[in-house]
Structure 1
């Protein structure tokens, strides 16, 4: 280090300042120089030896603080935050403990449905690209067959979209179970709260008169909880079967229709003559135009006459009355009668009817909705609507 004594004294007042002690540590000597020798540098908080330039090299930030701009796969793209706050995540945190698991299932199914819909759109685009490519080859056979294959591939993609719509119905049934679980959670919490209060009072004030009141409240809470638990059990079992009846029937229908379309697509491939030729020769003209059209016609006929044939799902929930209780009495129903509808022997998946398709076919799908509406539910809705109408008339 350069000696402090060699530093020129530019101010008379500096001559009276104490000189740097060689026993000072290195850091103290630098601070001494910055304070008394180079006061301009001290004003900005820099302790720089006199023999070094006043400009300091740019300090590099640690790796974890450096900007990641431009380090991604695409230029100018900002990396998305790892954890994003959305309204959906807020709803998830507010779900009762009893319905959190089913809430996650329903949310995950929503993502899966979106993936099926996206796959259907991509498949339709691929089918169109295949047709355009075949036309660009200037090969009559490839052009004709690729166009027909594009039609069948687009129809296969359309089945994915129909399947996604069926899964939406399945999600809707699961939501009924979730809503029931959410409504049961308060009764459980209330019963637990009353029990805890009784235990605290018995420990702190065994002679308190409030214990008797709380015990009576506990009896009422347990009775309400028993009713709520029975309703939850009945609704869960019924809607569980109904939801997955929708799910698996839709899965079978999609698979069987796609099998039909794939088999006819393989028939089209047999119309392509791939016999090798020598240089200078040309393939004979495509003579299977009518056969290719017949393949599409057969595919239309098979889809038009398709009927879903699955093993029936038996249900005994037809006598479920008002309040999700078996044989609940309903006003207008005689004594000894039950308010539930006849017990259905099975449920049948109802397919979505489409008016158009890429192959110009309309589906005739017959089926009854699973778990028909019980008479008790209909009467209950009518009773709820009557007071509303009276209130509106009074207003």
Structure 2
């Protein structure tokens, strides 16, 4: 019986690949100097932060650690495909239903391995984008060092030679160095925000596609398992003839079609925010948008064109004002009385008799 190890002999671009073309192969798939073992991982992780500018050391170590992750993913993908082939070879000697189902399960597992290999390529997009932030950090470090060096020289001269004419020259250089550093720091801030959003968008999009497709394969794999008759038999009893070849083939074809037509807009899993989280997130986005575009106050003092809602002062009823004046007169009469409020005597100087 012919054993199959891959779902498709000739691979046409899937819908998601047409919508989002795949990146070039990962840089981790070639140029192995220390092999696949843990020694190379440990060496990259520990040596990454020992060299280079101080500002870029932490991100350099992160990038090297991500390279270890990618090499591990690559190894998992390769071993997954080898396991799929071995499963198919093991089931070949079994009964017809076991042989057919294990063959098709090997096809699905091999497909997962190939998806993991594609995921490594997309994961590399994230890592390369993070490397660009590291490069900017490394370029900003010299301006920081120059500014600090000049400041130290000024402090040293002021301590040893307070009246040295070099202090004025160095202070002018410090002003220029601070201006250059200010520009560099602003560029670093802007590029960091831009690149970190792009980098993790690459990673989460790749992870979402990979996870959704693996979930699709897992679902069809469980459908394949239903074709195995696990009804117990007594010794000497023969099982009915297996008639699921067409069904297993149809399941594989349906799985292939589902994977080919998958696009991110039709993803089954969606992250739904709670009302509180959605409100706070919307408020944050609106604040960012307002700061970038500026606040529009043009409609704050819009003139009222509805003249019918206005009534002239002379057109009001006189009784209303008379009632208010009566209240005011009563209040003044109480305050001006000899006893004052609540019958108490007014305090103050007594008039002097003439």
TM class, shorter-chain normalised?
0.5 to 0.7
Q: Which residue of 1 aligns with 2:343?
A: none
Q: Which residue of 2 aligns with 1:237?
A: 193
User: Structure 1 regions of 5+ residues with no counterpart?
Assistant: 1-79, 317-325, 327-395
Q: Which one has a larger percent helix, Structure 1 or Structure 2?
A: 2
Q: Deviations over 1:138-163 (max 9, x none)?
A: x1110000000000010011111111
Residue 194 (structure 1) aligned with residue 150 (structure 2)? yes
Q: Which residue of 1 aligns with 2:87?
A: 130
SS at match of 1:93: coil
Structure 1 segment 329-340 matched on structure 2, within 5 A: none
RMSD between aligned residues: 2.7
The whole-number CA distance in structure 2 between the counterparts of 1:211 and 1:170 is: 47
Q: Which residue of 1 aligns with 2:167?
A: 211
From 247, 257, 268, the equivalent of 2:213 is 257
The whole-number CA distance in structure 1 between the counterparts of 2:128 and 2:41 is: 26
Deviation, structure 1 residue 83: 11
1:209–1:85: structure 2 CA closer, same or farther, 3 Å change rule? farther
Q: Which residue of 2 aligns with 1:164?
A: 120
From 66, 75, 79, the equivalent of 1:109 is 66
Q: Which residue of 2 aligns with 1:278?
A: 234
Contact 2:45-2:61 at 8 Å conserved across structures:
no
Deviation, structure 1 residue 92: 4.0
Contact 2:77-2:114 at 8 Å conserved across structures:
yes
Residue 153 (structure 1) aligned with residue 153 (structure 2)? no
The whole-number CA distance in structure 1 between the counterparts of 2:195 and 2:219 is: 36
Q: Return the TM-score normalized by structure 1.
A: 0.56
Aligned length: 236
The whole-number CA distance in structure 1 between the counterparts of 2:42 and 2:232 is: 61
The whole-number CA distance in structure 2 between the counterparts of 1:274 and 1:283 is: 10
Q: Which residue of 2 aligns with 1:360?
A: none
Q: Return the TM-score normalized by structure 2.
A: 0.63
Q: Which residue of 2 aligns with 1:180?
A: 136
Higher relative contact order (CA 8 A, sep 6+): 2
SS at match of 1:277: coil
Structure 1 segment 247-326 matched on structure 2, within 5 A: 247-309=203-265
The whole-number CA distance in structure 2 between the counterparts of 1:251 and 1:155 is: 16
Deviation, structure 1 residue 304: 1.1
Residue 93 (structure 1) aligned with residue 50 (structure 2)? yes
The whole-number CA distance in structure 2 between the counterparts of 1:236 and 1:83 is: 29
Q: Deviations over 1:83-137 (max 9, x none)?
A: 9996886664221100101011100000000111100111111111100110122
